[in-house]
Amino acid sequence: MKRSVERILVTHAGSLPRPDDLLALNREQPTSPATAERLRSAVAEVVKKQVDLGVDVVNDGEYGKPTTDAVDYAAWATYVYGRLGGFERRAMTIEDTLKAIMGDSRDRRDFPGYYAQLTAARGVRRSGPIELPVSVAPIRYTGQALVQRDIANFKAALHNVPAEGAFMSAIVTGVQIGTSEFYRTKEEETIAVAEAMREEYRAIASAGLNVQIDDPWLVNVYEFEYSVSRDIAGFRTWAQQHVELVNHALEGIPEDRVRYHLCWGSWEGPHSADLPLHDVIDLLLRVNASQYSFEAANPQHEHEWQDWRKVKLPPGRALIPGVVTHKTTVLEHPETVAGRLVRYAEIVGKENVIAGTDCGLGGRIHPEVAWAKLKALADGAALASRRLW
């Protein structure tokens, strides 16, 4: 895993804007030769674009995770149901979908009018119901051919660019949105997903690429299940088990080949009930990864840089704070980016900081703004480097 030895390196959290024609092909003819060819060329284009913008540690934009949904940012999670056997999709209304995902959320209770308006707006934008997965048989990994396709496309693209490093994202073990009809408990289902997904993690690492585990679950379970009661103790009991399961799924993969991305979810909303980082930072550091990516720019979490003063970063590990955010279309000034990076460098050491984004930019903000934010990220990292070296 690359470190910031001579300057602050630049990376991002994963999803990048997909070309319109690739989105159309994925929806209209997902298995056609034309789609496969366009996927290959699109991956080559997005890898080159990242390097041209100043990104050092690149990925494939998550282009191999297609979506047939009108909201393409969900592909980072929903792709997995095309790679796991044992699920079938069931149609749900917009409101039932939000309840299935967000559960008993304090944010939804505190701002009912806002969420009612959001639900109505989404219903107008969509032409039909959302389909969510339900487990109906033993869960097993069936995505071997797809992950090898993505690896091949990405490695071919890397041959033509001077990238400093490369990573591929994979969903965390415990993301299940729908209900279970096969397993007796949600815990049994989660363990089955962990056993299945370790095949994808190992395939990425075996190909010589770094694997990023995308995990919004660690902090969002608090929002969805514990925020009304404010039961921190009960949440932490669950969270410790979750971290143990993540580490179990990563067994056999060297720690220095793993980066871990934590986020507080990207749904539209106030996020007034987000779990504070200080309530979970010790558990975050128990994940067997060498780099930790997390939200550090949005208004609910920017102040949490101070929490890193209270913990000791284990040797050989680094932070990837998100210093530009998808939560607003306002473009960060490079000086703002640099200031955020210098804060972290002064606490954990400049060699232990890599510039990142709060979360994936693809599908969440307009592509023009997303690319501009990546450029601001790189420009800000260059400013920080001049101050630190």
Q: Sheet of 165-171: strands edge to edge?
A: 9-10, 354-357, 318-324, 291-295, 258-262, 210-215, 165-171, 57-58
Question: Are the beta carbons of 174 and 245 closer than 8 angstroms?
Answer: yes
Residue keyed to tokens 């806002």: 114
Distance set, CA 46 to CA 154, 161, 319 (Å): 10, 11, 24
pLDDT in tens, 319-369: 999 999 999 999 999 999 999 999 999 999 999 999 999 999 998 899 999
According to the model, what pLDDT value does residue 102 have? Answer: 61
More confident position, 82 or 46: 46
According to the model, what pLDDT value does residue 71 have? Answer: 47
According to the model, what pLDDT value does residue 173 have? Answer: 78
According to the model, what pLDDT value does residue 73 have? Answer: 58
Label residue 70 by pLDDT band (50, 70, 90).
very low
According to the model, what pLDDT value does residue 219 have? Answer: 92
Percent of the chain with pLDDT over 90: 73
- Whole-structure pTM value: 0.94
pLDDT in tens, 92-121: 665 566 566 666 789 888 998 998 887 777
According to the model, what pLDDT value does residue 242 have? Answer: 94
Helices and strands, number each (H, E), in the chain: 13, 10
| Alpha carbon distance, N-terminus to C-terminus of the chain | 21
pLDDT in tens, 10-45: 999 999 999 999 999 988 999 999 999 999 999 999
Reading the block at residue 263, the tokens are: 């986020």
The stretch 264-276 carries a mean pLDDT of: 89
The stretch 201-209 carries a mean pLDDT of: 98
pLDDT in tens, 279-311: 999 999 999 999 999 999 999 999 999 999 999
Please say if the pLDDT value at position 127 is more than 60: no
Percent of the chain with pLDDT over 70: 91
More confident position, 374 or 107: 374
The stretch 135-142 carries a mean pLDDT of: 94
Average pLDDT, the chain: 91
pLDDT in tens, 140-178: 999 999 999 999 999 999 998 999 999 999 998 765 556
Q: Alpha helix locations (H) across 3-143?
A: 20-28, 33-53, 75-78, 94-102, 106-110, 112-125
Q: Buried b vs exposed e over 317-351: b needs ≥16 C-beta within 10 Å?
A: bbbbbbbbbbbeeeebebebbbebbbbbbebbebe
Residue 56, exposed/middle/buried by CB under 10 A (0-12, 13-18, 19+)? Answer: buried
According to the model, what pLDDT value does residue 175 have? Answer: 57
Please say if the pLDDT value at position 68 is more than 60: no
Reading the block at residue 205, the tokens are: 């690492």
Q: Domains in the chain, please, with CATH?
A: 9-83+140-388 (3.20.20.210)
